[in-house]
Amino acid sequence: MEIDKIINENMVKFDKWKEILNAHIAKEMNYNGYSMEERFEIFDNTNELLIDLANAFYKYGQFKDKWDDSKCSQIVYGQNIYLKSTKTNHTFDWGVYEDNFVLQSYVSYPENFKYMGDDFWTSLLKLQEYGDFKFVENSGLNKEEKKYFNTHKSNLFRLLQNYFLHDIKNIKRSEFDRDYEMDLGWFEMKWSFDTRWEDLIENGCKAFKIIYNLNYQLWKIDDIKTKKIIKNNR
């Protein structure tokens, strides 16, 4: 669906969203000033806001997939709902944290990076056009690795450096211990609370679609392998 149509469909909710967000901000600034019942009400309303925006993501992406967004959680300085893809079993964290809307997605199946073409990496770099994009490393470099690889400037460089270092460590493991999953980190998009709703919908939709497709391409390699193994074992 065209992004302008999705924005127009949601414009009637903008005033309500603003009230919900303001209540969330006020509650976080004076947490003890609210009763338990008031906190629950604000939490539920904020979840409703997040689900409304997630529904815009789904509609724009037109994914051949189903979603489970029934789970949520309170976190320090914010809250999340979890957008789980039925097809890939991948979960996106979507929520509010401190002064931002935040979308996070662990890098799934990074061992399949070697099969990705240039379009994959072009899409990854395009994320920086739609918000504050960052690749967050799950583990830092040791002292020796920092001499050659340490950088804070390029998300792509840090992602690939972690991939290659993990892959080298995997190669060095014994042949009997190669069933090894990489845990590189996650993609993160942020939009400040003062972002216009129109911009949040547009940029959120586009970023979510890209991240979904990146994870889908990595997952699909494993899915094909699994189906071949099942077929050969019949």
Task: Please report how many Cα atoms fall inside a 13 Å half-sphere around the Cα of residue 81, on the Cβ side.
Answer: 19
Average pLDDT over residues 113-136: 94
Q: From CA 144, how far away is CA 107, in angstroms rounded?
A: 25
Q: What is the pLDDT of residue 160?
A: 74
Cα(43)–Cα(25) distance, integer angstroms: 11
**For residues 111 and 25, which has the higher predicted lDDT (pLDDT)?**
25
Task: List the one residue out of 223, 204, 180 whose CA is nearest residue 56.
Answer: 204
CATH number at residue 62: 3.30.930
pLDDT at 18 over 80: yes
Q: What is the rounded CA–CA span in Å between residue 136 and residue 190? A: 12
Q: How many Å apart are CA 81 and CA 26, to the nearest integer?
A: 20
**Position 182 pLDDT exceeds 90:** no
pTM, two decimals, is 0.86
The per-residue pLDDT for 172 is 44
Cα separation of 162 and 124, whole Å? 16
Domain count, the chain: 1
Q: Quick one: average pLDDT of 137-146?
A: 61
Range of the domain at 160: 3-139+147-232
| pLDDT for 177 | 47
pLDDT confidence of residue 147: 56
Phi, psi of 226 (to 5 degrees): -65, -45
pLDDT per residue as tens digits for the range 49-104: 999 999 999 999 999 999 999 999 999 999 999 999 999 999 999 999 999 999 99
